[in-house]
A and B are shown apart, each in its own frame.
Chain A
C-alpha cells in the first residue's frame, strides 16, 4: 500500500477553515506545551537529542561553528536569533548548543505549521521543545508565553524572519524577538547559519547532505528605554556582517564598506547567484588523480 494511503487512514481530516469550530480549539497557538517542560519530557528530549538528533544532524550537515565560545559565556536565559533557511536550522542550532543552554531552551515554531495537528504539535513540543508562535494573526498569547518562559529561566530560540527563505536570500526581520528580550531584559544573541538552504531549502523534498557554517555574533544586552525596532536593527547589522563573513572571511567582512544587504535591496536571480556562489565548488582542475592522456585547457588554443 502506498505511504500516501497509509497516511490517509491514520490522519484525521482537518476541519475546513470556513466552518465554525464546535470543539474546543486546542491546536495552533492554543496548543498547550506545558507537558514538554516537565521532567519526563525533558529527559526524553535530552536522550533523543544526545543519541539521535544531534549525531544525525552533525553527520548530514557537517557544521563548522565559528565563535562558539560566545555560547559558553552568554548570560542565560538568552534569546538566540538566527536567519532561517531550512528546517535543518533548528536541529543544527540545538546540536551545537552547550548543555547548559540546550537543557533549558524552547524554540519558537510557526503555530500554523508545527501545531496545526495535535500529533505534529505533540512531537514538535516533545522532541524539539517547540512553542507555538502565531504568524498569521495578531495575538498576545505567543509573546506572553515567551515572556513567561524567559522570566522563569528558559532560553528562547527565534527566527525573526518569520519563516524559511523562499529563494535563499534573507528576509526582513520582525521585531517580536527584540520586544520579548527588552521586556525581560535578557541578552539577545544573533547567529548566522549558512548553507542549509542548499541542503534542504523550502520546497525541497529530498535532503542533500553537505557542509554548513554557523557563526555566532556578539550578545546584545538591551538598555533601559530602548525601542524594539532599535534593538532588532542592531541584530540586523550583526547578521549582515556575519553573512559577509560566511561568504568571505572575518577580515574582509569587517573591512569592506558596509552596504545594506540583509535583506538585499533586490531579490533578483543574480543577487542570489552571486551571494551564494561561495556555497558551490570553485573552478579549477582537480590536481589528483592525474589522468594521463587528458588535455589541458592550454592545448585547446
Chain B
C-alpha cells in the first residue's frame, strides 16, 4: 500500500469539523466555507530491516568518504556524537534509531580493537539529558557497556578547558567546538532529521559548539534573513553553519555523518484518530476522540501532560544515509521533503494552527508561554519553502491554552525572561541588545546548565529570535483559548472562540480574508508558489 500524498482541501458545506491541537487538549473547529486545509502526506512505508539498512549505509558512504570500517583501527580515538532529547517528538518507541545506529558503529569499532571511545550527547545549549532519557536514546546495550566506564558524556558548552577554538570563517564567525570531538581521529555524528532544519553541518557546528560560537548565527539578524530556516538553501542560519562546517572540515577534523529520517507515524494505535483525516474517522475513531476529549477536559493539566509525555511514537525509519556531510544531507533533505512537503498555490491572509503539547524544548516538561511563541512563530510559521504561507501583514491564529506555567528545573532563565524582559519589551532587537549578554553570562544559570538539567541562560532569547522573522512579517497574532494576561504579555491578542479570533483577524487584514489551516498532526511543510 502506498502512502497517499498530502493535499489542500477547500472547506465546503459537507466538510466535517477540523481537529486542532490545543496544548494538552484537542478542539474540533468548523472553519468558514472556502477556507483551505493543508493535509500532510500519509506516513511513508518504513524500512523493514533497519539493522541491515544501517550496515548498508556504513559500508556504502555517500560523497567523498570511506566506508566506516576503513576508518577504524586499533589505537585510534573515536568520538560518537548524537542528537539530544529534543528529537524526535514525541520520543520514539524503543528501539530508538540512534541506539541502533550507535550499536552498528560500536560493533565495528569493537571488532577493529578501538579502545578509546566516547559517546557525547550533542546538547549545544540545551539541558542535560536525564539518565532515563540517555538510556532510552542509546539503548540498553550501549548504555550498559559504556556507562559504567563513564564513556557516555554530555557536551558542556561552558567548560572552557573542554572547548577548542578552530578559527574564524571568512565572515569573522568564531568556530569553537568540543575539544574531545575536535581532537579525535574520527568523529561520527548520529542524527535524526525530523524536519528539514536538522542535520548537515548544523549538527557539529551547533550541537557541539560554545555560546561564543553559536551566537554568530543564533541572532535576530540571521533569523530574519532565514526564509525559512526550514529551507536550507534560503536560510542564513544554515549558510552560517555551512561556513563553520567547512572550516571544521578544512581544519582536518574527519566527520562521518550518519543521518536518519523518520516517517510521520507519530501516534500509537490508541490515538490513531490524530493521524486520520476527519471524514475518514470511523466509529472507533469518533468514540476515542470523544472519550479522550471529555477525559482531558476533566483532567488537571499536569496529569494530562504526564499522560501525553509518556507516549512513545511508533515512527518508522525511512532512510539512513552515511558519509560526507553535504552529500548525506542532500539525500536526507530529499527524504524529508518527500514525507512532509505539500504544494500550495498562493499565500493566505489568515493562517490557523493548533499547537500540540510538545515542542523540541519541553520534552518531559511544561510548554511555557515562550515555548508556545517559539513553536508557533518559530517552527510552524517557518514550515514553508519559497514564500511564507501567510502574506506579509497577515495574521496567525494559534490555538493553545498558554498558561503562565514554567518548569523551574528545566527552564529557570525562562521565568526571569518572562518576568523581567517581556514586561519591558517584546522587540527582539531591543531584547538582544539590552538583555542577552546579562542572561548568557549569569553564573547561576551557567551553574544550573552545567550541573543540573537546565537550559542555558541565553536559551529563552534564542526562542524569541526564532520567531523574529514571523514578527517582522505578520500583522498580528491571535491566541485562541489562551490565558488573556499571558497572551498580552507575549504581545498577542487573546480570543475565546474561533469566530472571535477571525473577527479580530479581519480587523487587521480586512473583510473577506482567505483562511488556511495548517493541519497537524502529523508534520507538514508548505511549498508555496
Please list the residues of chain A having a beta carbon within 8 angstroms of any beta carbon in chain B.
166-168, 197-198, 201-203, 208, 266-270, 272-274, 276-277, 279-280, 283-286, 291-297, 300-301
Q: Are B46 and A291 in contact (CB under 8 A)?
A: yes
28 pairs, A vs B, C-beta closer than 8 Å? A167-B149, A168-B145, A201-B144, A201-B148, A208-B140, A269-B110, A269-B115, A269-B146, A269-B149, A270-B117, A272-B149, A273-B106, A273-B107, A273-B145, A279-B141, A283-B51, A284-B52, A285-B49, A285-B52, A286-B49, A291-B45, A291-B46, A291-B48, A292-B1, A293-B45, A297-B52, A297-B53, A300-B57
Q: Are A293 and B2 in contact (CB under 8 A)?
A: yes
Contact of B117 among A269, A280, A293, A301 (CB under 8 A): A269
Q: Are A168 and B45 in contact (CB under 8 A)?
A: no
Known A198-B144, A276-B145, A280-B141; judge A295-B110 contact (CB<8 A): no
Q: Is the interface of B mostly helix, strand, loop or mixed?
A: helix
CA distance A149 to B373 in the complex (A): 71
Question: B30 an interface residue at 8 Å Cβ cutoff?
Answer: no
Instruction: List the A side residues contacting B144 at CB < 8 Å.
Output: 168, 197-198, 201, 272, 276
Q: Are B49 and A166 in contact (CB under 8 A)?
A: no
Please list the residues of chain B having a beta carbon within 8 angstroms of any beta carbon in chain A.
1-2, 45-49, 51-53, 55-57, 60, 103, 106-107, 109-111, 113-115, 117, 140-141, 144-149, 151
Number of A-B pairs, beta carbon distance below 8 Å: 89
Instruction: List the B side residues contacting A291 at CB < 8 Å.
Output: 45-46, 48
CA distance A213 to B335 in the complex (A): 44
Q: Are B109 and A283 in contact (CB under 8 A)?
A: no
Instruction: List the B side residues contacting A268 at CB < 8 Å.
Output: 115, 149
CA distance A300 to B261 in the complex (A): 14
Chain A nearest CB: distance from B399 CB in Å? 34
Q: Are A283 and B52 in contact (CB under 8 A)?
A: yes
Instruction: List the A side residues contacting B106 at CB < 8 Å.
Output: 273
Q: Are B45 and A167 in contact (CB under 8 A)?
A: no
CA distance A293 to B49 in the complex (A): 13
Contact of B49 among A168, A266, A270, A297 (CB under 8 A): A297
Q: Are B46 and A294 in contact (CB under 8 A)?
A: yes
Known A270-B109, A291-B45, A293-B45; judge A167-B148 contact (CB<8 A): yes
Chain A nearest CB: distance from B3 CB in Å? 8
Chain B nearest CB: distance from A283 CB in Å? 4
**Known pairs A203-B147, A270-B117, A279-B141 / 16 extra A-B pairs, C-beta < 8 Å:** A167-B149, A168-B144, A201-B144, A272-B144, A276-B145, A280-B140, A283-B51, A283-B52, A284-B51, A285-B49, A291-B46, A291-B48, A293-B2, A293-B45, A295-B48, A296-B48
CA distance A285 to B54 in the complex (A): 12
- Which of A166, A198, A286, A300 has the most C-beta atoms of chain B within 10 angstroms of its own C-beta? A300
Write the chain A residue with the least CB distance to B118.
A269
CA distance A276 to B142 in the complex (A): 11
Instruction: List the A side residues contacting B45 at CB < 8 Å.
Output: 291, 293-295
CA distance A25 to B294 in the complex (A): 61
Q: Are B148 and A168 in contact (CB under 8 A)?
A: yes
Q: Are B148 and A270 in contact (CB under 8 A)?
A: no
Instruction: List the A side residues contacting B114 at CB < 8 Å.
Output: 270
CA distance A295 to B141 in the complex (A): 27
Instruction: List the A side residues contacting B2 at CB < 8 Å.
Output: 293
Q: Are A272 and B145 in contact (CB under 8 A)?
A: yes
Q: Lowest 9 CB-CB distances: which A-B pairs, in order?
A: A285-B49, A270-B110, A283-B51, A297-B52, A167-B148, A294-B48, A293-B45, A273-B110, A273-B145
Known A166-B148, A295-B45; judge A270-B115 contact (CB<8 A): yes
Write the chain B residue with the least CB distance to A266.
B115
Instruction: List the B side residues contacting A297 at CB < 8 Å.
Output: 47, 49, 52-53, 55-56
Instruction: List the A side residues contacting B113 at CB < 8 Å.
Output: 270
Chain B nearest CB: distance from A199 CB in Å? 10
Chain A nearest CB: distance from B58 CB in Å? 12
Write the chain B residue with the least CB distance to A276.
B145
- Which of A167, A273, A277, A300 has the most C-beta atoms of chain B within 10 angstroms of its own C-beta? A273
Instruction: List the A side residues contacting B145 at CB < 8 Å.
Output: 168, 269, 272-273, 276
Instruction: List the B side residues contacting A286 at CB < 8 Å.
Output: 48-49
CA distance A156 to B53 in the complex (A): 51
Instruction: List the B side residues contacting A201 at CB < 8 Å.
Output: 144, 148
Write the chain B residue with the least CB distance to A165.
B148
Q: Are B148 and A274 in contact (CB under 8 A)?
A: no
Chain B nearest CB: distance from A200 CB in Å? 11
Write the chain A residue with the least CB distance to B321.
A300
Q: Are B140 and A198 in contact (CB under 8 A)?
A: yes
CA distance A273 to B78 in the complex (A): 15
Chain A nearest CB: distance from B50 CB in Å? 9
Instruction: List the A side residues contacting B57 at CB < 8 Å.
Output: 300
Chain A nearest CB: distance from B140 CB in Å? 7
Contact of A300 among B46, B56, B103, B117 (CB under 8 A): B56
CA distance A279 to B115 in the complex (A): 21
CA distance A280 to B144 in the complex (A): 11
Chain B nearest CB: distance from A40 CB in Å? 42
CA distance A281 to B49 in the complex (A): 13
CA distance A293 to B48 in the complex (A): 9
Instruction: List the A side residues contacting B146 at CB < 8 Å.
Output: 269
Instruction: List the A side residues contacting B49 at CB < 8 Å.
Output: 283-286, 296-297
Chain B nearest CB: distance from A104 CB in Å? 36
CA distance A173 to B128 in the complex (A): 39
CA distance A202 to B1 in the complex (A): 47
Write the chain A residue with the least CB distance to B319.
A300
Write the chain A residue with the least CB distance to B113.
A270
- Which of B49, B55, B113, B146 has the most C-beta atoms of chain A within 10 angstroms of its own C-beta? B49
Instruction: List the B side residues contacting A280 at CB < 8 Å.
Output: 103, 140-141
Write the chain B residue with the least CB distance to A272.
B145
Write the chain B residue with the least CB distance to A203.
B148
CA distance A297 to B60 in the complex (A): 12
Instruction: List the A side residues contacting B55 at CB < 8 Å.
Output: 283, 297
CA distance A201 to B115 in the complex (A): 23
Chain A nearest CB: distance from B91 CB in Å? 17
- Which of A201, A269, A273 has the most C-beta atoms of chain B within 10 angstroms of its own C-beta? A269
